[in-house]
Structure 1
Amino acid sequence: MPSADQLVADARKLIPMLKAQAADIERERRVPADVISALADIGLFKLLQPRRFGGYEYGFTEFVRLNLELGQGCGSTAWCATIAMIHNWLVALYPLEAQQDVWSDRDAMVTGAYAPNGTCEAVAGGYRITGRWSFASNCDNSTWAVVCSMLPPAGDGGAPVPGWMLVPRSDFEIEDTWFSAGMAGTGSKTIRIDAPITVPAYRVLTVPVINSGDAPGSHVHANPLYRLSFTGAAPFTLSSVPVGIAKGALEDFTTMARDKMASWAGGPPRPMAGLHNVQIAIADAAAAIDAAELLLLRDTRHMTSRLAIGDLPTLDDRLMFRRDHSYAATQSAHAATVLFEALGANGGDLGSPIQRAWRDTNVAARHISLAWATTGAMYGRHQLGLKPDGTF
């Protein structure tokens, strides 16, 4: 098993290849199989997978570190990779029988679409469902999917509850609905189940159970990693990718600025490095990126320290994590924006990686789980003694 440092080093070596393919990946609106294979070859997707099924059982600090590297090469690839990695953690929360179904192929890849949708009927041994589920990133490369439906009440007077259902690729179609200004290469298309299928009960988990710290898989695997709640831990998945994208943009911008001549209104072209607004943009972006990275790594290390003593993150911890997930993504978008704006009209050149980073970070930061207007307010409400709204 490679060390975490080796995995990070191997991911870093892939950055030039990812940079070279980023424009094609965006144009094709999906990550190609050969890029997925290159990531699999270094063991990337085994990061959070249980050792019982050939994985490494590393934690969220290592997870964030990998995303920070991959994002520097291609934001869409990093997003798809992180979706695959987090789902190997999520599958480990299910009953053993479900895990055995998925990992009968140790290299299985899972996508997910979590907004409740479709029809759901309780039947003998499980649930019968149909529906459409949008934003299933990396679905083209996935062999399984998690979809969400409202489960019928278990008894009289009960209320429906959202359930996450594991379905194999043979049970769903992919509808090509992903045409986005940013993160275009993630292939976040729509999963469609037109003819009813039956999902066995052991492949269904309710959202409250997933977030309970006592999911069935926590009794299968001894590592306390599998006691974490999805809502408090999983957003590290999405928040760290735009930080990596912004880091890559800063490196590209700085390299360009060292040698490029820039037009300016006061006379003939002059060295870009001598322009005050360029210098300030570098400082501004670097500070924002450093702050985002430090917050995420501080939080994952704190989370790991809680697990090491047998505790789970407290409510205060989880709300701080959620604040920092959103703030890190927001600062990443800010960093990419100041770099993009410092290029003037030249920044709009579609051959420039800076404009892609600007589009990607701004779209990523607007993901529903990272939106500052709601996530920041959730933290603020808690600090003011009010009940927080949202997922944490």
Structure 2
Amino acid sequence: MATVVNMQNQAGEIPTAEELVDRARAMIPALKSRAKQCTAERNVPAETISEMQEAGFFKVLQPKRMGGYEMHPNVFFSIQKLLAEGCMSTGWVYGVLGCHPYEMALFDDKAQQEVWGDNPSMLVSSTYQPVGKVEHAEGGFYLSGHWGFSSGSVHCGWVLLGALVFPEDGQGPPDMRTFLLPREDYEIDRDSWQVFGLQGTGSHDIIVDRVFVPEYRTHRAVEGFMCDNPGQKVNEGPLYSLPWAQVFVRSVSTAAFGGARAAVNAAMAIMESRISTNTGKASKEDPMLHGAIAAAHSQMLEMELTQKASFDELMELAESGKEIPMEKRSLFAYQSSTVVRRLARLVDDMM
């Protein structure tokens, strides 16, 4: 208990949601100025990660008992959208790294203490591809494999890796788990991230050569789905009774809102100054462009309000101790899955 008390003291005064959102908005010019560097280096600059740490952004979904703020998910998503407006890759990395404290809160307390005990600001990357090879062992498992797409991994001291655990007797279905490993147990292939889009996310490959992972450093997907996780014994707030996937799926679609907002702003600026080389007329006189911008703005607002309303409803159910209906969970996940394609089409229309 002494360790937890010390971490609560280290957390200091918790900023308000408004203060955190204002800090994110204030970062937009700096993120825009570093966007080319981010792309060229294929990683979010260390300076940016440090500034986000100092602003407290990564603590939004982290338990208070472990030095975090334990805030409403909508605060987290509001920050992510603003960061992505400045730099899409930065917004993506924040969404991924920033949601991991939520899953860490679902792990056994011993795992939480190992990650945050000495450093409440420790960051964790992930790749949930179920490609790991798992061997049963006394007290845990041996894990090996080669995973792709671990965004922001160079800035992190731990990683979450997906793998299927097959029954020792060969009977029954496999158990999907997330394995938690410290930095000394894996390699990062920094030459693996050569892509067309989101170049700055540093989503490098992770390589593991048969390391032991204790049972308490694994998280079963079924526990996240059933909202019955080991970490809930110590993190008893309603926030951590939400289905883990509801938080995760939105963390990987929400950056698109920021990118689309930046595109709308750019279209507005172009409309004010551009003269068509074909017609000689100003773009601000083009009704088609006006319509495309209006459609993008209004439909993006609709999608954002839907996201906000869904998490308000999820939190209301969690705070009242009610079970979240499966049809609601399916609807909210579906809505998240439509965001990127819809926004991409709207940006295409403006182009």
TM over 0.5: yes
**Does structure 2 retain, via aligned residues, the 8 Å contact 1:292–1:332?**
no
Matched, 1:285 2:300: no
Matched, 1:318 2:345: no
Which residue does the alignment assign to 1:26?
A: 39
Instruction: Specify the code of the residue in structure 2 equivalent to 1:53.
Output: M
Matched, 1:209 2:223: yes
Which residue does the alignment assign to 1:95?
A: 108
Query: Any unmatched runs of 5+ in structure 2?
Result: 1-13
Q: Aligned partners of 1:313, 1:180: CA distance in 2, in Å?
A: 39
Matched, 1:240 2:254: yes
Q: Aligned partners of 1:84, 1:26: CA distance in 2, in Å?
A: 18
Give the TM-score normalised by structure 2: 0.92
The superposition leaves residues 168-208 of structure 1 with CA deviations (integer Å, 9 ceiling, x where unpaired) of 11111111322221111111111111x31100111012211
Which residue does the alignment assign to 1:199?
A: 213
Matched, 1:144 2:158: yes
- Which of 161, 182, 188 pairs up with 1:168? 182
Which residue does the alignment assign to 1:133?
A: 147
Partner-residue secondary structure (3-state), 1:107 = coil
Which residue does the alignment assign to 2:203?
A: 188
**Does structure 1 retain, via aligned residues, the 8 Å contact 2:157–2:182?**
yes
Which deviates more from structure 2 when the two are superposed, residues 231-240 or residues 218-227? 231-240
Instruction: Specify the code of the residue in structure 2 equivalent to 1:163.
Output: R
Q: Aligned partners of 1:41, 1:273: CA distance in 2, in Å?
A: 41
**Does structure 2 retain, via aligned residues, the 8 Å contact 1:76–1:184?**
yes
Give the TM-score normalised by structure 1: 0.83
Partner-residue secondary structure (3-state), 2:252 = helix
Which deviates more from structure 2 when the two are superposed, residues 290-299 or residues 4-13? 290-299
| Equivalent residue runs for 1:35-114 within 5 Å | 35-104=48-117, 105-114=119-128
Q: Aligned partners of 1:213, 1:147: CA distance in 2, in Å?
A: 20
**Does structure 1 retain, via aligned residues, the 8 Å contact 2:136–2:168?**
no
Q: State the 1:133 CA deviation.
A: 0.9
Q: Aligned partners of 2:347, 2:33: CA distance in 1, in Å?
A: 19
Q: Aligned partners of 1:100, 1:312: CA distance in 2, in Å?
A: 29
Aligned sequence identity (%): 30
Q: Aligned partners of 2:277, 2:134: CA distance in 1, in Å?
A: 62
- Which of 300, 306, 309 pairs up with 1:298? 309
The superposition leaves residues 320-347 of structure 1 with CA deviations (integer Å, 9 ceiling, x where unpaired) of 10121022222221222222x2xxxxxx
CA shift in 2, pair 1:272/1:156, >3 Å:
closer
Q: State the 1:152 CA deviation.
A: 3.0
**Does structure 2 retain, via aligned residues, the 8 Å contact 1:213–1:227?**
yes
Q: State the 1:64 CA deviation.
A: 1.6
Which residue does the alignment assign to 1:327?
A: 338
Q: Aligned partners of 1:74, 1:48: CA distance in 2, in Å?
A: 22
Q: Aligned partners of 1:256, 1:110: CA distance in 2, in Å?
A: 40
Q: Aligned partners of 1:179, 1:281: CA distance in 2, in Å?
A: 33
Instruction: Specify the code of the residue in structure 1 equivalent to 2:65.
Output: R
Partner-residue secondary structure (3-state), 1:281 = helix
Q: Aligned partners of 2:197, 2:93: CA distance in 1, in Å?
A: 14
Q: Aligned partners of 1:313, 1:337: CA distance in 2, in Å?
A: 36
The superposition leaves residues 54-111 of structure 1 with CA deviations (integer Å, 9 ceiling, x where unpaired) of 1000021112211121111011001111111110100000000000011122111011
Runs of 4+ displaced beyond 4 Å = none
Which residue does the alignment assign to 1:389?
A: none
Instruction: Specify the code of the residue in structure 1 equivalent to 2:224.
Output: I
Q: State the 1:151 CA deviation.
A: 1.4
The superposition leaves residues 192-236 of structure 1 with CA deviations (integer Å, 9 ceiling, x where unpaired) of 11x311001110122111222110011111112112222233211
Q: Aligned partners of 1:51, 1:25: CA distance in 2, in Å?
A: 32
Instruction: Specify the code of the residue in structure 2 equivalent to 1:331.
Output: R
Matched, 1:276 2:290: no
**Does structure 2 retain, via aligned residues, the 8 Å contact 1:117–1:131?**
yes
Partner-residue secondary structure (3-state), 1:253 = helix
Q: State the 1:155 CA deviation.
A: 4.9
Q: State the 1:23 CA deviation.
A: 1.9
CA shift in 2, pair 1:154/1:219, >3 Å:
farther
**Does structure 2 retain, via aligned residues, the 8 Å contact 1:50–1:221?**
yes
